[in-house]
Structure 1
């Protein structure tokens, strides 16, 4: 080891670390598996390890690749390493898998037949392209929905199966059809110089496998690779790391992975728990270090978590402990139904706030998004401010996606999906038939769609009106492209796009609350672009170009949208809760069929549900309350009578204060194998945007059911002003809400809603 740092400096770096943490930080060459239990300081270990490598001269900043799963985590890691080292971390590759792959592909993409200005397709873009492929292949889109087909394609890519490999699998007619669509989809992506998120990983893997000189260069570049949340990696990510780390005996294999198999809860996204469970088999020289001291929770909470996860067979055993004392016992409260459950939780929150607790210290977790509605209604009625994590994200809003598509087609004239999205938005007389003719002509001639649209007279079958409309549109677009080529700031370009295409004028002409909200979203997007311009002006290493701007915003992850607000109670699903912590946690709906979810019972994935329970329990710092209801209505239908979750039975009795148990069903009945309740199979079938059904209205029971007609103005307790857009059998009413433009189907009898 080079003698590059004064001993005192290194002592300071290692100060305050416990023995296992210190062992991980000072580890020498070779693979290292750090099993980091919940709240055990894994980020501290990672950041100190990076700083230690630089401080001791084992690696220069540019020789370190540190991988995270969110942009927020990467930013936090960069900042913390910078503080430890006292200088910039700009040369380090501290970023997400996708960002690292984009950076590699901006250099290597031409080897695979792409230009360096390739477009990155998000899920909506990909779904739209899949729909086109389904239409071209004359496949029934009702039986093969674009979302379902894309999910199958993504799963294949996560497993590194290209269309040819997917075809070779023995399968049903359904799978054979998926294979045909997959093949067409990849051809179309490549012809449009575009990649979806999965391609970013797969194409880097392909580069490293196909070109030994590329593999050797990046193996030499990254002398040390560190990976956070390793239990969440899929097969493609595993293969990428394997290629970068090199083979045993040929390279030091300086790969450090940090994770917790007990928190592997993303199999539905392709995560493979086998990656962490088999790490020492895949890397035989690997050292294993367990971080079991918890700095977050009381011992009672940790003992409960240890007891629950102990029922899983497929795990690497670890025992969390703390020196922070035993703390309060865990409260398990049984309630009559979901409304009583919500009233109880909200009542407890009111009591805590009266005692001086900040609302920001309190979180409510649930298994599925659909469970939040009754809780939200109750919070609204009691006038308690709250935030829901996991709603519609900024970059998923239609007007924002339109603006991004305009910028995309300016930079990449081959992008058919972006062209299709913006050519008639706002409406300018270019219909779907005309668009199809332009696209087909471009495909037939083998030219970019931009080039075909520039010469509308040359497009067979295009009517006179469409020729004129397309000509005017392309004149505008060529003017905007000229501005882009002049190198004007992205913020100015985006503002010009929205004005000169008539997009903002069209919103202004609507004169609705929804249109005003969309304008405000676009103003916010311009602000995002201006912030990008400012950041690039400060950092000479960044290019102030449209494609770099689009690359940055395309990589924003869901978890990065979380807001910290001093005055808000936080609501979220257990999956969204991973990685967070709150002093006071309420975990609602802990019932068989709800949690564990009925689907997991049917599919045999109970161990993952139990890991999700472990995640939920270990988010709590000092107070944890679990609630379950004797009956629960699903979307306002007939109530399902339920048992307490088996996870309740797995809690040690001496750690639990059971309250309100009036029914004959107790945790012991579940453990003893009592008859299961009817499965709540429709929970989670639709997200929060799908609305919801049952639930006591503002005044509770006795009022007459309001009668609605299409066109009625209404006010909803949680969603605000809206207008009735349709009626359905069974007392269901569809309402379009002004605040976010969403449409929700509600049960009129129980919805907390009244005529305006």
Structure 2
């Protein structure tokens, strides 16, 4: 086979990686350096030059999308089908192995795979059989514990509780869950990997068969491997199998879900004769963006080292925007996107990135106001998130006992000992009486028609709803929501859970109270504040998110952005305690992962990057005055400029300072920094102007702490 086409179009480092003959190859592939191309061409090279059968090569990646793309490109290079090649995800290949040897693995031929939701249901059933109260021992916490142990290759017998009650209880749950899965022929995702590893570890014949069969193992995104995946790789490649790993320690951002950055760092030590090749030429971003990314990531101490560069030009400097608060930040983003679109660009070429899911809420509001289509990539809109909908359901039921949908949603959320049979009895009685679920529930309580435990639980729920309305309805809107979150035990439920998802849920609950505090009831003069807010939430949760194929702005967390690229990128909330996150600032390892996350975010941008921070932000229910993120400060001054509406600055300066010192060029009779008085809001200072003529809008910070944007032609401001 002619190998010339295989090396055609590759740069020198890529050619070296594709054609390397060493038994162990480590390819450190920087962002946008063409790592997938190198993997695909290396597979073709091995088949063409070493006479390897396509079936003697195993290639492992992390997503089905990446696996399909790899197969397709291999087929294109080889001119033959790759359908039967062992190219797939860790889970997909483990599943293939277990299907082929189910009896040796102790599994029935008809074993079923549990997704995350199904796994949780089985765990709940096991915990109920163990008489563990959901309120004290959340099933999601047990799920997290079990999966974490499996990711590290541990069975219940391998775990030492050492007198710790948490570990002891969860070990017992793990054991009972394992028995239930074995009886039912069920395998969860973490079990696929652990069971496949144990199959090869404990069966010498099978282990030697596969070690001899696979002559070359290639692994993509190696920095994201966990304990059991690394052990699995070591086992397969322990004999005569050569190995190529591709990864980037600077993009290791999934430590919270078990990924171990030390796996890629120790590869050179544990695989003798390793050759390391660095792919540093970037084909995605401008020079300024790459220099900024390099400057940030070089502050990490434990890294293997590389320096991204491009043959392209430096492009525009990175733009910084110092907003007064999160509303101004969101307004600026929406305005810039509108300008971008009007210049003939596509919405889909633009991404808004943020550290916390809760940040999306304010940005969504301003995109909706300007009718800018958007999608939450890999997630839900703010008002569609489960914890937010749960809280709103409590409120809806407090204000309207006839709301059966709200009743069903929260009658056992958090779990309070009302099983499916009890809830079905409520439904049956309501149907028979043609009454509401609320009325039926009271009748069952009064007649004590349920078990004593269920009757007590139902009575407590009904009284909670009554008490909530009677005690909370005269409080300010945000306090009603905060008190409901606390009284319902929703916050307490998530405080007992662990992991990034539980943290995001708690942040979203706090953000819901912030949304209520900012809600303008004047927009709904005919409704009570709570009724108005609930109507607003329902409308916001309506069909305003663009469909999958519509040209739309992409919104996502920084974690979700890995592997993607966009011509225009905004990173919002570049502030200390938000990014880097407050939960990471006191631990060096976690802080370095936050910096890697910043590196990933910066390198998503191809042409233009905006970094935004606010001088005041309502964060997790509290007003904060954060410092600018260290990640901004780590970017050299010559690479960045501060932006405002009609001018730029080469250095970041305080919004307050420039508001006082700069005058606005407008015909309104007012200037920036001027003190003014409003009949409703009192005395304030003008921070900014938008628009011109009769449509000029002034951004005013009032002494009351409120920040308003008022159209000057209607506001009737008086100079002080």
Q: Cα 1:137–1:576, aligned 2, differ >3 Å: closer, same or farther?
A: same
Q: Spell out the pairing of 1:2-151 with structure 2 (5 A cutoff).
A: 5=1, 9-151=2-144
In 1, Cα distance between equivalents of 2:21 and 2:549: 42
Q: For residues 306-351 of structure 1, what are the alpha-carbon distances to aligned partners after superposition, in whole Å with 9 as ceiling and x for unaligned?
A: 0100000111011011100111110111001111001101101111
Q: Cα 1:191–1:397, aligned 2, differ >3 Å: closer, same or farther?
A: farther
What SS class does the counterpart of residue 622 from structure 1 fall into? Answer: strand
The equivalent of 1:663 in structure 2 is: 654
Shift of 1:140: 3.0
Does the aligned pair in 2 maintain the 1:31–1:287 contact within 8 Å? yes
In 2, Cα distance between equivalents of 1:325 and 1:563: 36
1:630 maps onto 2:618 in alignment: no
The equivalent of 1:599 in structure 2 is: 583
In 1, Cα distance between equivalents of 2:163 and 2:8: 58
Shift of 1:138: 2.1
Q: For residues 569-601 of structure 1, what are the alpha-carbon distances to aligned partners after superposition, in whole Å with 9 as ceiling and x for unaligned?
A: 111110110001111100001111111111111
1:206 maps onto 2:207 in alignment: no
Shift of 1:111: 1.7
Among candidates 567, 581, 588, match of residue 572 of structure 2 = 588
Which range moves more in the overlay, 18-27 or 570-579?
A: 18-27
Q: Cα 1:171–1:109, aligned 2, differ >3 Å: closer, same or farther?
A: farther
Which range moves more in the overlay, 262-271 or 82-91?
A: 82-91
Does the aligned pair in 2 maintain the 1:32–1:286 contact within 8 Å? yes
In 2, Cα distance between equivalents of 1:189 and 1:397: 30
The equivalent of 2:295 in structure 1 is: 307
In 2, Cα distance between equivalents of 1:245 and 1:269: 25
Does the aligned pair in 2 maintain the 1:367–1:573 contact within 8 Å? yes
In 1, Cα distance between equivalents of 2:51 and 2:310: 33
In 2, Cα distance between equivalents of 1:368 and 1:343: 18
What SS class does the counterpart of residue 109 from structure 1 fall into? Answer: coil
Among candidates 289, 292, 308, match of residue 280 of structure 2 = 292
In 2, Cα distance between equivalents of 1:104 and 1:285: 29
1:611 maps onto 2:596 in alignment: yes
Q: Cα 1:83–1:622, aligned 2, differ >3 Å: closer, same or farther?
A: same
Larger radius of gyration: 2
Does the aligned pair in 2 maintain the 1:592–1:598 contact within 8 Å? yes
The equivalent of 1:231 in structure 2 is: 223
In 1, Cα distance between equivalents of 2:366 and 2:234: 50
The equivalent of 1:268 in structure 2 is: 256
The equivalent of 1:644 in structure 2 is: 628
What SS class does the counterpart of residue 349 from structure 1 fall into? Answer: helix
1:158 maps onto 2:159 in alignment: no
Tell me the matched-pair count.
Answer: 499
In 2, Cα distance between equivalents of 1:383 and 1:221: 57
Which range moves more in the overlay, 587-596 or 657-666?
A: 657-666
In 2, Cα distance between equivalents of 1:329 and 1:62: 49
Q: Cα 1:702–1:434, aligned 2, differ >3 Å: closer, same or farther?
A: closer
In 1, Cα distance between equivalents of 2:559 and 2:622: 28
Q: Cα 1:112–1:326, aligned 2, differ >3 Å: closer, same or farther?
A: same
Q: For residues 701-743 of structure 1, what are the alpha-carbon distances to aligned partners after superposition, in whole Å with 9 as ceiling and x for unaligned?
A: 989xxxxxxxxxxxxxxxxxxxxxxxxxxxxxxxxxxxxxxxx
What SS class does the counterpart of residue 80 from structure 1 fall into? Answer: helix
Which range moves more in the overlay, 153-162 or 123-132?
A: 123-132
Q: For residues 155-183 of structure 1, what are the alpha-carbon distances to aligned partners after superposition, in whole Å with 9 as ceiling and x for unaligned?
A: 111111110001x2535111111111111
Which range moves more in the overlay, 111-120 or 291-300?
A: 111-120
RMSD: 2.6
In 2, Cα distance between equivalents of 1:110 and 1:10: 43
Shift of 1:565: 4.0
Shift of 1:434: 11
What SS class does the counterpart of residue 584 from structure 2 fall into? Answer: helix
The equivalent of 1:557 in structure 2 is: none
The equivalent of 1:741 in structure 2 is: none
In 1, Cα distance between equivalents of 2:422 and 2:273: 62
Mark the runs of 5 or more structure 2 residues left unpaired by the alignment: 387-418, 424-545, 645-651, 658-678, 682-720
Shift of 1:602: 4.0
Shift of 1:25: 0.7
Shift of 1:94: 1.2
In 2, Cα distance between equivalents of 1:171 and 1:40: 50
The equivalent of 2:532 in structure 1 is: none
Does the aligned pair in 2 maintain the 1:360–1:565 contact within 8 Å? no
Q: Cα 1:18–1:180, aligned 2, differ >3 Å: closer, same or farther?
A: same
What SS class does the counterpart of residue 590 from structure 1 fall into? Answer: coil
Q: Spell out the pairing of 1:686-697 with structure 2 (5 A cutoff).
A: none
The equivalent of 1:362 in structure 2 is: 350
1:179 maps onto 2:171 in alignment: yes
In 2, Cα distance between equivalents of 1:434 and 1:54: 63
Q: Cα 1:372–1:45, aligned 2, differ >3 Å: closer, same or farther?
A: same
Shift of 1:433: 5.9
The equivalent of 1:559 in structure 2 is: none
Does the aligned pair in 1 maintain the 2:22–2:273 contact within 8 Å? no
In 1, Cα distance between equivalents of 2:175 and 2:377: 36
The equivalent of 2:553 in structure 1 is: 569
Shift of 1:368: 1.3
In 1, Cα distance between equivalents of 2:282 and 2:626: 34
The equivalent of 1:621 in structure 2 is: 606
Mark the runs of 5 or more structure 1 residues left unpaired by the alignment: 399-430, 436-561, 667-700, 704-756
Does the aligned pair in 2 maintain the 1:292–1:321 contact within 8 Å? yes
Does the aligned pair in 2 maintain the 1:587–1:625 contact within 8 Å? yes
What SS class does the counterpart of residue 600 from structure 1 fall into? Answer: coil
What SS class does the counterpart of residue 658 from structure 1 fall into? Answer: strand
In 2, Cα distance between equivalents of 1:301 and 1:657: 13
In 1, Cα distance between equivalents of 2:77 and 2:33: 19
In 1, Cα distance between equivalents of 2:284 and 2:548: 19
In 2, Cα distance between equivalents of 1:433 and 1:617: 52
Shift of 1:639: 2.0
Q: Point out 4+ residue stretches in structure 1 off by more than 6 angstroms.
A: none
Q: Cα 1:565–1:134, aligned 2, differ >3 Å: closer, same or farther?
A: same
Shift of 1:58: 3.0
Q: Cα 1:118–1:563, aligned 2, differ >3 Å: closer, same or farther?
A: farther
The equivalent of 2:246 in structure 1 is: 258
Q: Spell out the pairing of 1:717-732 with structure 2 (5 A cutoff).
A: none
In 2, Cα distance between equivalents of 1:357 and 1:325: 21
The equivalent of 1:278 in structure 2 is: 266
In 1, Cα distance between equivalents of 2:131 and 2:168: 14
Shift of 1:662: 5.4
Does the aligned pair in 2 maintain the 1:32–1:287 contact within 8 Å? yes
